[in-house]
């Protein structure tokens, strides 16, 4: 009696073979007419086929260029077939009581069946040139085997694809050229790659790439929401630096006091800048329940706002560097701290978003100007500001009701009769 496991395994392999046959029928309807048209428009169809068959099968070893073209054709067919075969590998396939190698080799069987029309075409071409050349059968059989096995391994989404795909590409190139022992070596290498390629993984984009795309989308939404009004926030933030420029131009001061003045004005300018941008983001880009349902973490959203705020601070940093380059170090330390505080404050209180940024900026400007060593304390506070902003975003209730952001007189519902 045949064990039940053997029957189940044969049923799984039959399923994968039928999947390959169905995909073959889908593209074979396009593959055959192209060949028929090409033969029909030739003056001598037999000579046209022989013109391809002679470089493929003659010589010792046969021509490598034509076999590379056949391999490229198989890779193109598999690139079309692999997404359709591996679409549901994270579904019911994972619940089958079989090892992941059996699932992977079943899909390899499907892809091998998909390539059968290419093999049949090669045999048809060989039949036309049988009487013209002496076949180098070892090289031909080994090259067909290398193509049938190498092109699917090159495209399968496996766990160890970072090194399996490049190695399979090298074996595929080497197996389609040279003498028979090179093809045999390439075929052996492809078999070993199949043994160590690991389980199949989902071909869909992983979470990190999706979060990256969501972050770019949120960054674009932030720029579109703020628009040209960000220039007014930048201009207002430059007022402290302009005042210090006039102060230094009309007074002769020691170097240390001049550096401290530029340093304090740069920190205050960052506070004004982040406060203005945080207010605009809070009003023009409120929390969106649908957008927060996307697979992006609170840390990613805080980092996106941090990048948005930091991109606008380049003007302040350039102006401070033009006034006194020595003042840049404390300003660069306070910039990420103030940006993280602003990113958290816009999620904490909509009506006073960014206000604590200005308070911290004034306090830090005074302390770093009088006591330069306090810059190290603000540097150590950056991780705490990040954790606080992330927790504030995680605790944010985006579905709560908020009152209208305008006066009651402008609401027609509140008008009395």
Q: What is the mean pLDDT of residues 209-222?
A: 66
Which has more pLDDT, 135 or 122? 122
| Final residue before a domain boundary, out of 196, 222, 246 | 196
Task: Say if residue 254 is in the same domain as residue 144.
Answer: no
Q: Which domain holds residue 143?
A: 4-196
- Is 412 part of a structural domain of the chain? no
- Is 57 part of a structural domain of the chain? yes
Does pLDDT of 414 surpass 70? no
Task: Say if residue 192 is in the same domain as residue 253.
Answer: no
pTM of the predicted protein model: 0.49
- Is 345 part of a structural domain of the chain? yes
Task: Say if residue 22 is in the same domain as residue 76.
Answer: yes
- Is 374 part of a structural domain of the chain? yes
Output the pLDDT for position 41. 75
Task: Say if residue 150 is in the same domain as residue 212.
Answer: no
- Is 166 part of a structural domain of the chain? yes
Task: Say if residue 248 is in the same domain as residue 327.
Answer: yes
- Is 141 part of a structural domain of the chain? yes
> Which phi-psi region, left, alpha or beta, contains residue 295 (left: φ > 0; alpha: ψ -120 to 50)?
beta
Task: Say if residue 324 is in the same domain as residue 273.
Answer: yes
**Where residue 88 falls among pLDDT bands split at 50, 70, 90?**
low
Q: What is the mean pLDDT of residues 25-44?
A: 73
Task: Say if residue 68 is in the same domain as residue 134.
Answer: yes
Among the residue ranges 98-102, 131-135, 234-238, 260-264, the one predicted with the least confidence is: 131-135
Does pLDDT of 63 surpass 80? no
Q: What is the DSSP string of 326-392?
A: GGHHHHHHHHHHHHHHHHHHHHH-STTTTHHHHHHHHHHHHHHHH-GGGHHHHHHTHHHHHHHHHHH
Tokens 């945080």 correspond to what residue?
A: 278
Task: Say if residue 372 is in the same domain as residue 285.
Answer: yes
- Is 411 part of a structural domain of the chain? no
Provide the H-helix boundaries in 41-156.
45-57, 64-85, 100-114, 116-128, 137-155
Q: What is the mean pLDDT of residues 137-152?
A: 82
pLDDT per residue over 277-313, tens digit each? Answer: 888 888 777 776 666 667 677 788 888 888 888 888 8
Output the pLDDT for position 158. 81
| Final residue before a domain boundary, out of 196, 228, 245 | 196
**Where residue 154 falls among pLDDT bands split at 50, 70, 90?**
confident
Q: What is the mean pLDDT of the chain?
A: 77
Output the pLDDT for position 1. 41
CA distance 391 to 235: 32
232-256: b or e for each residue (b if 16 or more CB lie within 10 Å)?
ebbeebbebbeebbeebeeeeeeee
CA distance 299 to 304: 9
| Final residue before a domain boundary, out of 153, 173, 196 | 196
Q: What is the mean pLDDT of residues 9-35?
A: 76
Task: Say if residue 192 is in the same domain as residue 63.
Answer: yes
Does pLDDT of 91 surpass 70? no
* Whether the Cβ atoms of residue 306 and residue 343 lie closer than 8 Å to each other: yes
**Where residue 409 falls among pLDDT bands split at 50, 70, 90?**
low
Task: Say if residue 318 is in the same domain as residue 365.
Answer: yes
pLDDT per residue over 311-338, tens digit each? Answer: 888 888 888 888 888 888 888 888 889 8
Task: Say if residue 154 is in the same domain as residue 103.
Answer: yes
Task: Say if residue 300 is in the same domain as residue 176.
Answer: no
- Is 283 part of a structural domain of the chain? yes
Does pLDDT of 408 surpass 60? no
Output the pLDDT for position 5. 47
**Where residue 2 falls among pLDDT bands split at 50, 70, 90?**
very low
Question: How many domains are contained in the chain?
Answer: 2
Does pLDDT of 212 surpass 60? no
């Amino acid at each position: 009696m045949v064990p039940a496991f053997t029957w189940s395994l044969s049923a799984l392999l039959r399923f994968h073979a039928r999947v390959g046959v169905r995909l073959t029928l889908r593209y074979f309807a396009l593959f055959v007419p192209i060949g028929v048209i090409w033969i029909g428009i030739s003056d001598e169809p037999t000579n046209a086929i022989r013109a391809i068959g002679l470089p493929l099968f003659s010589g010792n070893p046969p021509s490598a260029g034509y076999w590379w073209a056949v391999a490229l054709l198989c890779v193109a067919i598999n690139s079309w077939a692999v997404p359709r075969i591996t679409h549901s590998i994270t579904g019911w396939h994972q619940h089958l009581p079989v090892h992941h190698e059996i699932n992977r080799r079943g899909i390899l069987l499907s892809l091998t069946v998909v390539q059968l029309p290419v093999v049949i075409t090669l045999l048809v071409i060989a039949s036309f040139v049988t009487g013209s050349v002496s076949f180098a059968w070892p090289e031909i059989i080994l090259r067909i085997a290398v193509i049938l096995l190498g092109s699917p391994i090159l495209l399968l989404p496996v766990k160890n694809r970072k090194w399996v795909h490049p190695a399979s590409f090298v074996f595929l190139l080497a197996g389609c050229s040279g003498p028979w022992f090179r093809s045999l070596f390439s075929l052996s290498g492809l078999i070993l790659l199949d043994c160590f390629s690991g389980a199949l993984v989902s071909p869909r984009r992983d979470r990190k790439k999706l979060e990256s795309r969501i972050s770019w989308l949120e960054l674009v939404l932030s720029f579109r929401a703020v628009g040209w009004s960000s220039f007014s926030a930048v201009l207002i933030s430059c007022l402290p630096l302009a005042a210090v420029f006039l102060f230094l131009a009309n007074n002769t001061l020691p170097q240390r006091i001049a550096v401290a003045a530029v340093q304090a004005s740069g920190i205050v300018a960052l506070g004004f800048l982040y406060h203005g941008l945080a207010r605009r983001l809070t009003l023009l880009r409120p929390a969106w329940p649908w957008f927060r349902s996307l697979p992006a973490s609170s840390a990613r959203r805080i980092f996106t706002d941090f990048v948005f705020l930091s991109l606008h601070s380049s003007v302040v940093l350039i102006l401070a560097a033009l006034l006194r380059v020595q003042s840049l170090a404390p300003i660069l330390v306070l910039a990420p701290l103030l940006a993280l505080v602003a990113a958290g404050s816009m999620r904490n209180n909509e009506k006073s978003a960014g206000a604590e940024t200005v308070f911290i900026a004034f306090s830090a400007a005074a302390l770093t100007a009088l006591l330069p060593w306090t810059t190290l304390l603000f540097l150590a506070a950056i991780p705490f500001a990040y954790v606080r902003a992330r927790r504030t975003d995680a605790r944010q209730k985006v579905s709560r009701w908020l009152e209208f952001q305008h006066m009651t007189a402008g609401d027609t519902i509140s008008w009395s009769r």
